[in-house]
Amino acid sequence: MKAHIKITLKNGVLDPQGKAIEGAIKGLGITGVGDVRQGKYIEVDLSESDPAKAKAIVEQMCKDLLANTVIENYSYEIG
């Protein structure tokens, strides 16, 4: 199984990189662009085949290492 993990900054946490990206997109002459937020995407191969156990493993790695829950949210799909 593979976990596809997305990590994003929480709402309310300033994202200066997102702001810079927003400015660069607008610099391309593209219109209709609003707020830009950037984050991380992480893929993890898992040997566990039981979906419930795999979820518990991914939950633990997100909470303890991959995301800093003071500033970041995480979400994932396992498949």
Partner 1 sequence: MLRASVIVFPGSNCDRDVQTAIERVTGFAPKMVWHGDASVPSSDVIVLPGGFSYGDYLRCGAMAAHSPIMKDVVTKAKAGTPVIGICNGFQILCESGLLPGALLRNASLHFICRDVFLKVENDQTFFTKCYREGEVIRVPIAHGEGNYFADSETLDRLEGEGRVAFRYSNEAGETTADACPNGAQRNIAGIVNETGRVLGMMPHPERLYEKALGGTDGRRVFESMLLSTLEAVA
| Residue with smaller CB distance to partner 1, 41 or 79 | 41
Sign of the CA dihedral running 36, 9, 56, 54: positive
Q: How far is the CB of 49 from partner 1 (least distance, A)?
A: 27
For residues 2 and 79, the answer to whether their CB atoms sit within 8 Å is yes
Q: Residues 13 to 72: which contact partner 1 by CB under 8 A?
A: 13-14, 16-17, 20, 64-66, 68, 70-71
Binding site for partner 1 (CB under 8 A): 13-14, 16-17, 20, 64-66, 68, 70-71
